[in-house]
Amino acid sequence: MSGSQDVATVTQARLETTASRLRELVAHLRHQRAQLREEWARLITEAKLLTAMTKEEIFAEATSVYDNYVEALETGTYEALQAYARNLSERIIPRGVETHEVVGIVLLLRDVLARSLFATYHEDFNKLNRILDAYEPAANRIAATVAVGFVQERERIIREQQEAIRELSTPVLQVRERLLILPIIGVIDPQRARQLTEQLLRGIRTNRAKVVVLDITGVPYIDSPVANHLVQTVEAARLLGATVIVTGLSPEIAQTLVNIGVDLGKMNTVGDLQGGIEEAERLLGYKVVLMQESVAQSA
């Protein structure tokens, strides 16, 4: 009983001394702020980190990071630092700053501060050790917080960009009222096939389309799961009340469709995009008048 109480007391005491050492440390870093910050910024430039940024920008960010850093040490809470790291990442990622640079600058700051602690306490070796003991875990945690924040932000941006690229890769064009064209170029992987279906079906509803021309002239080949998916998309479009005309079907893709049991006769296929659009206009009830004819008539 008394034994466990002793342990509790000792732990309590240790916590208090750690806290008081951190307080001393924070006071020291506040006191030396101007000088340490300057040195850190200089080392960043020397190490050729953050080359995409100007000296002034580096100094401004260094100041903010420094202050957030000291605050995290003081309060033991990392939320503010985390938020700042995210915000910083958001600003510098578009400028091409790399993960190793961000990790590099945080580690540099850790070293700058550690060196200053050496310089200040080198005469009292015991005290130096105790202060470093208190400093190190906090510093590591700070470095991890900043680096993780950066990496997460980067991943988020990459995800967003991929999404945007994917959407761009299946444009939905409205050429005239009730008529959509989806020109597909490149390989259709399962992910893209899913996207295509969603865009096509949503596009039908939002544009109140009656006919969709799906042009796959630019698709080199498709495997049978994707072929199946395409056929299902055509069927789903019909359930919405729209007709899909597939154009630019290469002999290879036609063969794939036949192999999975698609009755090509039941599918609306037209040789090329131009023919597909004409067929679409016919379905929509527009009269297609050939240029020569109309010229001849008016003459």
Partner 1 sequence: MQVPILKQGAYLIATVQSALTDEDLKQLRDTLVLQVSKVRARGVIVDVTALDVIDSFATRTLRDVAYMIRLRGAETVIVGIQPEVAFSMVKLGLTLEGVATSLDLEEGLAYLDRKAKAHEREVRAHR
Partner 2 sequence: MRVPIDCDSDVVAARQKGRELASQCGFPSTDMAVVATAISELARNIVRYAVRGEIILRLVQNNGKRGIEVVAADDGPGIPDVGLAMQDGYSTSGGLGLGLPGTRRLMDDFEITSDFGKGTKVTVRRWRR
Task: Catalog residues that contact partner 2 under the rule CB under 8 A.
Answer: 191, 194, 198
Q: What residue 191 binds from partner 1, partner 2, none (CB within 5 to 8 A, per partner kind)?
A: partner 2
Q: Does 205 bind partner 1 (CB under 8 A)?
A: yes
Q: Does 262 bind partner 1 (CB under 8 A)?
A: no
Angle of helix 125-169 relative to helix 2-31, nearest 10 degrees? Answer: 80
Contact in structure between 296 and 190 (CB atoms under 8 Å)? no
Residue choice 26, 151, 201, 262 for contact with partner 1 (CB under 8 A): 201
Q: How many CB atoms lie within 10 A of CB 160?
A: 10
Contact in structure between 106 and 85 (CB atoms under 8 Å)? no
Dihedral sign (CA 135, 139, 141, 142)? positive
Q: Does 14 bind partner 1 (CB under 8 A)?
A: no
Name the segment binding partner 1 (CB under 8 A); options: 53-61, 117-125, 161-169, 235-243: 235-243
Q: Does 122 bind partner 1 (CB under 8 A)?
A: no
Q: Does 170 bind partner 1 (CB under 8 A)?
A: no
Q: How many CB atoms lie within 10 A of CB 97?
A: 21
Q: Does 268 bind partner 1 (CB under 8 A)?
A: no
Q: Does 55 bind partner 1 (CB under 8 A)?
A: no
Contact in structure between 275 and 217 (CB atoms under 8 Å)? no
User: What φ, ψ does residue 179 adopt, rounded to 5°?
Assistant: -125, 125
Please identify, using beta-carbon distances, which residue of 130 and 192 lies nearer to partner 2. 192
Q: How far is the CB of 241 from partner 1 (least distance, A)?
A: 4
Contact in structure between 271 and 247 (CB atoms under 8 Å)? yes
**Residue type at position 229:** H
Q: Does 267 bind partner 1 (CB under 8 A)?
A: no
Report the alpha-carbon distance of residue 38 to residue 292 in Å, rounded: 78
Please identify, using beta-carbon distances, which residue of 22 and 227 lies nearer to partner 1. 227
Please identify, using beta-carbon distances, which residue of 191 and 255 lies nearer to partner 2. 191
Q: Does 155 bind partner 1 (CB under 8 A)?
A: no
Please identify, using beta-carbon distances, which residue of 56 and 263 lies nearer to partner 1. 263
Q: Does 257 bind partner 1 (CB under 8 A)?
A: no
Which of 234, 18, 54 has the alpha carbon at shortest distance from 132? 18
Q: Does 240 bind partner 1 (CB under 8 A)?
A: yes
